[in-house]
């Protein structure tokens, strides 16, 4: 039996993460430096990586359901 503490979700670089989120990589850097949003990242040396699973969770958490308009 093998136990792993590391997620099997692939890691993507900041440019790819930004593209998945529909924002600029610089905006993602600002979010990271100011902790504006709780999007986890992994630092590997000087490189920053994001888990695809964390990105998907971040997107799902910000989903807004439409509101019915009553006239």
Helix 14-21 with 25-34: angle, nearest 10 deg: 100
Residue 62 tokens, joined: 């910000």
Using an 8 Å Cβ cutoff, are 41 and 49 in contact?
yes
The pLDDT assigned to 20 comes to 96
| Average pLDDT score over residue span 22-47 | 94
Residue-wise pLDDT for 2-26, tens only, equals 554 556 779 999 999 999 999 999 9
| Average pLDDT score over residue span 42-68 | 93
């Amino acid at each position: 039996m093998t136990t792993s503490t590391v997620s099997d979700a692939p890691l993507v670089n900041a440019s790819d993460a930004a593209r998945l989120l529909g924002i600029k990589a610089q905006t993602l850097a600002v979010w990271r430096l100011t902790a504006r949003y709780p999007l986890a990242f992994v630092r590997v040396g000087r490189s920053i990586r994001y888990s695809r699973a964390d990105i998907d969770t971040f997107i799902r958490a910000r989903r807004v359901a439409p509101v019915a308009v009553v006239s």
